[in-house]
Structure 1
Amino acid sequence: MILNAAIFLITLFLMEGVGFLAHKYVMHGWGWFLHRSHHEEHLGAFETNDVYLLALGMVAVGLIVLGNSGFDPLQWVGAGVAAFGLIYVLVHDGIVHRHWPVRPQPRNRYLKRLYHAHLMHHAVKGRRNSVSFGFLYAPSVPALKKQLRAMREAERAASRADLCTPSITSDLQNG
């Protein structure tokens, strides 16, 4: 029983890392076509981004079924994945995005930090140069502001460099 609880808790803890990597490199990478809906205004209760939560649920159920078929530790891994999904829905969708009829205000320091970090994540339009990709962990607001300023300055410097660099086309045309 202690081993099962340890597997569950370790999986739950590791899922934040999995979520961070999936958010940064899949959702803000090649999977942006689904995640974009999460960064835009929408009218209904669902968005195409919910496909990711559905996929997470299918992984959790699959692991639990495999665990019940004789691979016991997998059911606890699946339970950890499912618990992460449930916490995501409660904290991210409920408290951060307030997708529920009752819109709770974050009152404790941890929830306020998550809330403000996620607002800063959404402050960047588009999929590039965003901050705070975690779901249950967020760097401090001052650290995120510093990161955003550095990215904006790098963007400005890159656009200034583009203006100063002659294009290959004009080089070819001029001989």
Structure 2
Amino acid sequence: MIFALTTLVTFLIMEGVTWCTHRFIMHGLLWVLHEDHHQPHDGFFEKNDLFFVIFAMPSIALFYFGVEGGLNILFFIGLGIMLYGLAYFLVHDVLIHRRFKWFDKTTNPYLRGLRKAHKMHHKHLGKEHGECFGMLYVPLKYFKVHQSA
């Protein structure tokens, strides 16, 4: 039970880690790697994809140390990080940016709200004045249905 709870809590904490990392590192110190993600471009890969490798490293290290001498809590922290990374890939690269055409025609209100929030994030081509730096938490204003007059 404690291991499942550890995995779940780690997954949930990762949303805050993601927000802070996106806001202060990707739109700050490492903008040089993230900038091409905010610019129109041809091709499948972008420098921003290096963040998948960078962010996988803690999870890999936790898996390694989490099985050393027998299964321990570090493994399940690594699992929570990895599951969040998988969710991030599915939401960000598949659903939002449609790099893979797996969930192309969703009508789910939550998923549509995620798309709207991320679209607002990308309306800013520079690193300043951004909004919606998280991934799974979306402010309620992006779920409102706009009615025409």
Same fold per superposition (TM over 0.5): yes
Report if aligned partners of 2:38, 2:124 keep a CA contact under 8 Å in 1. no
- Length, aligned pairs only: 142
**Where do 5+ consecutive residues of structure 1 fail to align?**
144-175
Could you report, residue by residue, the CA deviation over 1:32-86 in whole angstroms, capped at 9, with x for unpaired residues? 0001011112222211111111111121111101101137110000000000110
Q: Which residue of 1 aligns with 2:131?
A: 131
1:66-85 mapped onto 2 (5 Å cutoff): 66-70=65-69, 72-85=72-85
RMSD: 1.6
Seq. identity, %: 37
Give the Å deviation of 1:142: 6.0
Q: Which residue of 2 aligns with 1:48?
A: 47
**Corresponding residue SS for 1:62:** helix
TM-score normalised by L of structure 2? 0.89
Give the Å deviation of 1:17: 0.4
Report if aligned partners of 1:88, 1:135 keep a CA contact under 8 Å in 2. yes
Structure-1 separation of matches of 2:19 and 2:29:
15
Give the Å deviation of 1:105: 2.7
Are the structure 2 counterparts of residues 128 and 8 from structure 1 closer, same or farther at C-alpha, using a change threshold of 3 Å?
same
1:146-165 mapped onto 2 (5 Å cutoff): none
Q: Which residue of 2 aligns with 1:18?
A: 17
| Letter in structure 2 aligned against 1:73 | I
Q: Which residue of 2 aligns with 1:63?
A: 62
Counterpart check, 1:35 vs 2:34? yes
**Corresponding residue SS for 1:130:** coil
Structure-2 separation of matches of 1:106 and 1:128:
31
Q: Which has the larger radius of gyration?
A: 1
Report if aligned partners of 2:22, 2:134 keep a CA contact under 8 Å in 1. yes
Structure-2 separation of matches of 1:51 and 1:134:
18
**Where do 5+ consecutive residues of structure 2 fail to align?**
144-149
- The structure with higher relative contact order (CA 8 Å, sep 6+) is 2
Give the Å deviation of 1:104: 1.3
In terms of mean alpha carbon deviation, does 44-53 or 80-89 score higher? 44-53
The structure that is helix-richer by fraction is: 1
Q: Which residue of 2 aligns with 1:112?
A: 112
Q: Which residue of 1 aligns with 2:146?
A: none
Are the structure 2 counterparts of residues 98 and 25 from structure 1 closer, same or farther at C-alpha, using a change threshold of 3 Å?
same
Report if aligned partners of 2:113, 2:142 keep a CA contact under 8 Å in 1. no
Give the Å deviation of 1:9: 0.3
Give the Å deviation of 1:125: 2.0
